């Protein structure tokens, strides 16, 4: 299955070549950079707000307008992914969802009669599941050639169970009800496998996969994460959640882990040892910027053979990373104001990559 051409991204085939090299920790001509800016002469578009939640027509209209109004430079590309917020699987299992202007959150399920973890059941008629299915299939038909359709945000068992139970309560459960936690994780392992597999089936006709985290693979790409692990020790991570996380990688040819902040660094050794993990997105978090403060950590990740996905705030920060790390296995994303500035930045990336090639 060939990669579909994109109306507003004429160099998409070349971008895909660079991204496929990135997954291997390699480089073709320069490091990967996803740069977005307003196209010359285009009007500034408003951000989506709460009115767009679960409104497919409004969402499709917005992505079409954004695709046309944006200069998709480097390895950036227009993408639509059906989004009900970060706790999709918890919503599928009955958690009530509240929508805010920019995100959503779920409410834990009621506890079992004895106060323990409730029985987890999936009803395929669940409104959120049905909406994601409908929106994905409609996007594949209506946005073909205009945007890549991504897999919805499918979390790993740790974050899903934390949403179902409440993070603090799940920490207590791991101490007081370890067998219940392990049974729930086993259920969620299979549940995630089924939901991920069907999402891939729904989107594979476009010649590859993307997710909420901007990247692309001509095979199957998964973004994995367990933000909950900031609350537990490396021993508890290995005992309860590492096996499920590793299993998620078995479903995909290319896996990027979302390493969300300094609180997760204590688990980095376990992550770097995973054979089913090709890349790590490092998010330094508010107050911990810029990315160049974390060069030693980033070198440690690259030395373990994992590629890096990094978002930055400025061209100077991006160029500093290329100089310090080299272009191999490096994907940097940022937004810029004008097309002329963005194209000048890409020329600087070419030069920095040539200087820093290792």
Task: Give one DSSP letter per residue of 195-252, joined into a string.
Answer: HHHHHHHHHGGGSSB--SSS--BSS-EEEE--GGGGGS-HHHHHHHTHHHHHHHHHT-
In whole angstroms, how far apart are CA 92 and each of 6, 87, 118, 158? 32, 9, 15, 15
Task: Give one DSSP letter per residue of 276-317, joined into a string.
Answer: T--EEEEE--TTS--GGGGHHHHHHHHHTT-EEEEE-SSHHH
Closest CA to 109 of 122, 90, 131: 90
Compute how many other C-beta atoms are within 10 angstroms of the C-beta atom of residue 43.
Answer: 8
Q: What are the residue ranges in the chain where pLDDT is below 70?
A: 1, 46-51, 357-358
In whole angstroms, how far apart are CA 136 and each of 49, 94, 267, 303? 20, 21, 34, 38
- Distance of alpha carbon 246 from alpha carbon 276, whole angstroms: 7
* Residue-range domains of the chain with CATH: 12-356 (3.20.20.210)
Strand pairing class (279-283; 307-311): parallel
What tokens appear for 144 in the block?
Answer: 């073909």
pLDDT score recorded for residue 49: 57
Strand pairing class (254-260; 221-224): parallel
- Distance of alpha carbon 346 from alpha carbon 76, whole angstroms: 12
If you search the block for the tokens 């390699």, which residue do you land on?
26
Which of helix, strand or coil describes residue 254? strand
pLDDT in tens, 160-193: 999 999 999 999 999 999 999 999 999 999 999 9
pLDDT score recorded for residue 358: 52
Q: Do the Cβ atoms of 4 and 207 come closer than 8 Å?
A: yes
- Distance of alpha carbon 267 from alpha carbon 278, whole angstroms: 16
Q: Do the Cβ atoms of 226 and 185 come closer than 8 Å?
A: no
Cα 146 from chain centroid (whole Å): 21
- Eight-class DSSP state of 9: B
Phi-psi map region of 166: left, alpha, beta (phi>0 left; psi -120 to 50 alpha): left
pTM, two decimal places: 0.95
Which of helix, strand or coil describes residue 6? strand
pLDDT score recorded for residue 51: 60
The DSSP H or E segment spanning 265 is: none
pLDDT score recorded for residue 241: 98
Q: 281 pairs with which residues across the strands? A: 258, 309
pLDDT score recorded for residue 52: 85
In whole angstroms, how far apart are CA 316 and each of 18, 74, 91, 313, 321? 22, 17, 41, 9, 9
Closest CA to 213 of 253, 250, 257: 257
Compute how many other C-beta atoms are within 10 angstroms of the C-beta atom of residue 190.
Answer: 12
- Distance of alpha carbon 99 from alpha carbon 14, whole angstroms: 38
**Cα torsion at 175, 94, 185, 203 (round to 10°)?**
-150
Task: Give one DSSP letter per residue of 325-349, joined into a string.
Answer: H-STTEEEEEE-S-HHHHHHHHHHH
């Amino acid at each position: 299955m060939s990669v579909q051409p994109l109306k507003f991204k004429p160099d998409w085939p070349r971008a895909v070549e660079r991204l496929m090299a990135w997954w291997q920790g390699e480089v073709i001509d320069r490091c990967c950079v996803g740069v977005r800016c307003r196209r010359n002469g285009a009007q500034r578009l408003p951000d989506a707000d709460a009115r767009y939640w679960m409104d497919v027509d409004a969402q499709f209209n917005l992505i079409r307008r954004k695709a046309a109004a944006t200069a998709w430079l480097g390895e950036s590309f227009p993408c639509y992914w059906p989004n009900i917020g970060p706790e999709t699987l918890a919503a599928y299992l009955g958690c009530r969802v509240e929508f805010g202007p920019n995100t959503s959150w779920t409410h834990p399920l009621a506890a079992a009669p004895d106060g323990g973890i409730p029985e987890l059941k999936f009803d395929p008629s669940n409104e959120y599941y049905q909406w994601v299915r409908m929106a994905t299939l409609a996007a594949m038909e209506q946005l073909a050639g205009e945007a890549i359709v991504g897999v919805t945000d499918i979390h790993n068992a740790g974050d899903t169970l934390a949403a179902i139970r409440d993070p603090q309560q799940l920490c207590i459960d791991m101490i007081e009800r370890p067998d219940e936690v392990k049974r729930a994780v086993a259920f969620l392992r299979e549940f995630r496998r089924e939901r991920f597999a069907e999402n891939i089936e729904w989107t594979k006709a476009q010649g590859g996969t993307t997710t909420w985290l901007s990247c692309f693979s001509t095979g199957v790409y998964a973004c994995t994460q367990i933000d909950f692990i900031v609350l537990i020790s490396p021993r508890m991570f290995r005992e309860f959640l590492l096996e499920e996380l590793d299993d998620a990688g078995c479903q995909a040819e290319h896996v990027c882990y979302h390493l969300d902040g300094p609180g997760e660094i204590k688990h980095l050794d376990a992550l770097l040892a995973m054979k089913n993990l090709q890349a790590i997105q490092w998010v330094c978090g508010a107050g911990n910027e810029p990315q160049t403060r974390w060069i030693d950590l980033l070198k440690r990740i690259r030395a373990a053979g994992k590629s890096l996905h990094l978002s930055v705030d400025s061209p100077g920060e991006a160029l500093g990373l290329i100089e310090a790390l080299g272009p191999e296995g490096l994907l940097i994303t940022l937004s810029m104001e004008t097309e002329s500035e963005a194209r000048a930045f890409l020329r600087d990336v070419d030069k920095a990559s040539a200087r820093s090639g290792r």
